[in-house]
Protein backbone atom coordinates (compact mmCIF):
# COMPACT_ATOMS: atom_id res chain seq x y z
CA UNK A 1 0.00 0.00 0.00
CA UNK A 2 1.57 3.36 -0.99
CA UNK A 3 2.09 6.05 1.64
CA UNK A 4 0.26 9.33 1.51
CA UNK A 5 2.58 12.32 1.30
CA UNK A 6 2.92 14.05 4.66
CA UNK A 7 1.44 11.14 6.60
CA UNK A 8 3.47 8.90 8.90
CA UNK A 9 4.00 5.32 7.82
CA UNK A 10 3.76 4.38 11.49
CA UNK A 11 1.11 6.68 13.01
CA UNK A 12 0.87 4.71 16.25
CA UNK A 13 4.62 4.93 16.89
CA UNK A 14 6.79 2.23 18.43
CA UNK A 15 4.86 -0.65 20.01
CA UNK A 16 4.15 -0.16 23.73
CA UNK A 17 5.98 -3.35 24.72
CA UNK A 18 9.28 -2.25 23.15
CA UNK A 19 10.57 -0.53 26.29
CA UNK A 20 9.93 -3.78 28.14
CA UNK A 21 12.10 -5.69 25.65
CA UNK A 22 14.99 -3.24 26.12
CA UNK A 23 14.65 -3.49 29.90
CA UNK A 24 14.58 -7.31 29.68
CA UNK A 25 17.79 -7.31 27.63
CA UNK A 26 19.50 -4.96 30.08
CA UNK A 27 18.35 -7.04 33.08
CA UNK A 28 19.44 -10.31 31.44
CA UNK A 29 22.91 -9.14 30.39
CA UNK A 30 24.15 -7.20 33.44
CA UNK A 31 23.17 -3.88 31.84
CA UNK A 32 24.68 -4.96 28.52
CA UNK A 33 28.07 -5.97 29.95
CA UNK A 34 27.68 -9.56 28.69
CA UNK A 35 26.96 -8.28 25.17
CA UNK A 36 30.14 -6.21 25.23
CA UNK A 37 32.16 -9.16 26.57
CA UNK A 38 30.80 -11.41 23.82
CA UNK A 39 31.61 -8.85 21.09
CA UNK A 40 35.12 -8.41 22.52
CA UNK A 41 35.62 -12.20 22.50
CA UNK A 42 34.55 -12.35 18.83
CA UNK A 43 36.81 -9.42 17.90
CA UNK A 44 39.86 -10.89 19.68
CA UNK A 45 39.41 -14.45 18.36
CA UNK A 46 41.72 -14.57 15.32
CA UNK A 47 40.35 -17.99 14.33
CA UNK A 48 36.90 -16.49 13.57
CA UNK A 49 36.07 -15.34 10.03
CA UNK A 50 37.15 -11.80 9.24
CA UNK A 51 33.57 -10.71 8.53
CA UNK A 52 32.49 -11.69 12.08
CA UNK A 53 35.46 -9.90 13.65
CA UNK A 54 34.82 -6.80 11.54
CA UNK A 55 31.13 -6.77 12.54
CA UNK A 56 32.08 -7.08 16.23
CA UNK A 57 34.60 -4.27 15.82
CA UNK A 58 31.99 -2.02 14.17
CA UNK A 59 29.41 -2.82 16.87
CA UNK A 60 31.87 -2.05 19.67
CA UNK A 61 33.11 1.14 18.02
CA UNK A 62 29.62 2.45 17.26
CA UNK A 63 28.35 1.85 20.77
CA UNK A 64 31.50 2.68 22.67
CA UNK A 65 32.75 5.68 20.73
CA UNK A 66 29.64 6.74 18.85
CA UNK A 67 29.24 6.68 15.12
CA UNK A 68 31.63 8.96 13.26
CA UNK A 69 30.40 12.28 11.91
CA UNK A 70 29.28 12.07 8.31
CA UNK A 71 29.76 14.92 5.92
CA UNK A 72 26.87 16.10 3.85
CA UNK A 73 27.17 18.36 0.87
CA UNK A 74 24.25 20.68 0.25
CA UNK A 75 23.60 23.18 -2.46
CA UNK A 76 20.76 25.62 -2.89
CA UNK A 77 19.58 28.25 -5.27
CA UNK A 78 18.42 31.43 -3.57
CA UNK A 79 15.78 33.37 -5.43
CA UNK A 80 16.32 37.09 -5.78
CA UNK A 81 14.11 39.46 -3.79
CA UNK A 82 10.79 40.18 -5.44
CA UNK A 83 9.74 43.79 -5.76
CA UNK A 84 6.00 44.15 -5.24
CA UNK A 85 3.98 47.22 -6.11
CA UNK A 86 2.97 49.31 -3.12
CA UNK A 87 -0.59 48.59 -1.99
CA UNK A 88 -3.21 51.34 -2.21
CA UNK A 89 -3.62 52.00 1.52
CA UNK A 90 -6.09 54.81 0.85
CA UNK A 91 -8.65 52.21 -0.22
CA UNK A 92 -8.51 50.47 3.20
CA UNK A 93 -10.55 51.43 6.27
CA UNK A 94 -8.48 53.42 8.77
CA UNK A 95 -8.28 50.51 11.31
CA UNK A 96 -6.98 48.14 8.64
CA UNK A 97 -4.53 50.77 7.39
CA UNK A 98 -3.10 51.16 10.92
CA UNK A 99 -2.75 47.38 11.28
CA UNK A 100 -0.91 47.12 7.95
CA UNK A 101 1.46 49.95 8.87
CA UNK A 102 2.13 48.38 12.30
CA UNK A 103 2.90 45.06 10.61
CA UNK A 104 5.33 46.79 8.26
CA UNK A 105 7.04 48.48 11.21
CA UNK A 106 7.40 45.07 12.91
CA UNK A 107 8.86 43.52 9.76
CA UNK A 108 11.35 46.37 9.43
CA UNK A 109 12.36 46.00 13.09
CA UNK A 110 12.70 42.22 12.74
CA UNK A 111 14.83 42.50 9.59
CA UNK A 112 17.07 45.04 11.34
CA UNK A 113 17.42 42.75 14.37
CA UNK A 114 15.87 45.30 16.71
CA UNK A 115 13.06 42.97 17.85
CA UNK A 116 13.23 39.21 18.48
CA UNK A 117 10.66 36.94 16.78
CA UNK A 118 9.01 36.06 20.10
CA UNK A 119 8.70 39.76 21.06
CA UNK A 120 6.89 40.52 17.82
CA UNK A 121 4.45 37.65 18.47
CA UNK A 122 3.55 38.93 21.96
CA UNK A 123 2.70 42.39 20.62
CA UNK A 124 -0.19 41.07 18.56
Tell me what pLDDT residue 24 has: 85
* Cα radius of gyration rounded to whole Å, the chain: 29
The pLDDT value recorded for residue 1 is 58
Q: What is the mean pLDDT of the chain?
A: 82
pLDDT at residue number 114: 66
Per-residue pLDDT reduced to its tens digit, 85-109: 877 888 888 898 888 888 888 888 8
Closest CA to 43 of 31, 52, 33: 52
User: What pLDDT does residue 7 have?
Assistant: 78
Q: Give Cα separations from 84 to 88, 91, 101 (angstroms).
A: 12, 17, 16
Q: Give Cβ neighbours of residue 40 (< 8 Å, ≥ 6 apart).
A: 56, 60
Q: How far apart are CA 113 and CA 3, in angstroms?
A: 42
pLDDT digits (tens, 9 = 90+) for 61-88: 988 888 878 888 888 888 787 887 877 8
Amino acid sequence: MPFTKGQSGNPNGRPKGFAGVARLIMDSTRDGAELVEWALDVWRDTSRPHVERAAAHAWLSDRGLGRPMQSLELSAVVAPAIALPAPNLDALPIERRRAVLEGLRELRALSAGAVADDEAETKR
